[in-house]
Structures are given as structure tokens and as C-alpha cells.
Amino acid sequence: MIEKHQSIVNGIEIAYSIKHGINRRATVIFIHGFPFNSEMWLKQLEGLDKRVTGVAYDIRGFGGSTTNHRYLSIDLFAKDLLLLIRRLGQGPVILCGVSMGGYIALRTMQLSGGDVAGLILSDTNASADSNESKLNRFASIEAVLKEGVGNFAGNFIKKLFSKTTVEKKMNISAGIYSMIVRNSVETICSTQLALAARTDTSDFLPEIAVPTLIIRGSDDQLTTMDQARALHENIRNSDLVIIPDTGHLPNCEAPEHFNHIVNLFLEKHFLS
């Protein structure tokens, strides 16, 4: 059974859902991407091995989590997560992040590797934004301020999914659209600035010694195959798996396949 909770962390309320494992052998914390919330991980909580506790939380300012200011950064998100890990008392944990969630996972690992037992990095990369990407984010902020979150959501959705998902699984895009439009203009804009300002963790990758699973949707338009390979080639204890006919959110587009890969990874490194 999935339970919903709130906890005071770093001066804010963090909302999270938890599914307790039976005779817990490991804990996975799921970190959502931008601009979604923890609802995107419900299928993963439901599909986890019964021996594994799963936690999906809302990053500050998203979903049911609050924020006490708008000066956001990936570093701040990572420090929030470290405090949540320690508050839950489940560590060291496996971090599973998609897109922005992957940036947060890598920065969290960099800040305190002792709190992290493993990594699952989906459709993400270790590089900072290029100048072109930064300019695109700035243009997106201007558009949100002028046109609102609804237009932003409609345009963003077009880049997220594979052709197969768009044609055969329209309910998925509708659910993601609903998550996006529930965000405030302030959260969208301040997080875009946080993403543009994030640090590059590429040099840190060879220092990662924990088991790592790298996942990429075959038709992802927002991250490249070269970026996924760079993670795999530089993290020595890593596996790379491509999920066919999926885009930037393979956990939503092909949840059974995604869950199977995750459970195999957990069995290999944490449950056997």
C-alpha cells in the first residue's frame, strides 16, 4: 500500500509517497524531472520488488512541497534530498532520477556519497547547459511570463514522447500535461534559471564507485545517445539499457519494461 506523508526538511514541507518493503533489503528514492511531480513515479512504486521500500517525493516548489524562497538551484535541491534521506532513516539509498532528477542525483552523490548506495539515471546527463541551451531557457521564461503555463505545457509536451506513445498512449501525455499546468509561473521560471546555472558533474563521474544503471528512451528528443554513452563510459560500475519506442520519460511510456530493468538491477546488486 502506498502511503502519503509530509515532513519538514530544510525549513519547508516535503510531500512524499512511500511503499514499505517487506523485510526491507533496500530503499529507492525516485526524483522527478522538470516540470513534473512525484505522481510520475506511481507505476514504479507499485512495480518495485516486495523487498524494496520505494519513496517518491516532490522537489521543493513542485506538487505538494513548499518553498520559502525562489532562489532555486540544483545544489539546493540536492541538499534538501540529503536531509530527507537522513530524516527517513532508510539510508544509504538508491537514487533514481529522470532528467532534472538525474542532475539532482549526481549532485547529491557528489555532496555525500556515504548516503547513496546506488544510482539509476534515466534520460539525463552530467553536462552543464551549453550557451544555446541557456538562451533557449531564457526564451522559455519570457514565453511563460507572456503566455502562461498552459502554452508552455502544450509546447513542452511535443518534445517529450516517442511517436508510438503519441499515437497509441494519449492518456500518458494528458496526465503529464496535467502535472505541468499545476505549477505556478514562479516555479517554472525559477527552476529554468536553476537548470541553466547548474554545475557540470562530468569530472566527478570516474569517482562514482556504486552500482549504476543508465536508462535511455530510444527516441528521446531532449538527451542524446552520446550523453548516455558518456555516463556509461565514465562511471566504471555501470550498465546502459535502451528502452525501445520511448522518448524522454520511459518510466511513464513503458512502465512494465522500465520496472523490469530496475528490478533486475536491484536483484543483481542489492537483493541477492
Cα 235 to Cα 62, 124, 125, 150, 215, distances in angstroms: 30, 14, 12, 38, 13
The segments of the chain whose pLDDT lies below 70 read: none
Which pLDDT belongs to residue 209?
97
Which pLDDT belongs to residue 150?
95
Q: Which of 262, 259, 256 is nearest to 239 (CA)?
A: 262
Which pLDDT belongs to residue 170?
82
Instruction: Output the CA angle 191-88-72, nearest 5 degrees.
Output: 15
Q: Which of 217, 224, 215 is nearest to 248 (CA)?
A: 217
Which pLDDT belongs to residue 169?
87
Contact 73, 198 (CB under 8 A): yes
Which pLDDT belongs to residue 168?
85
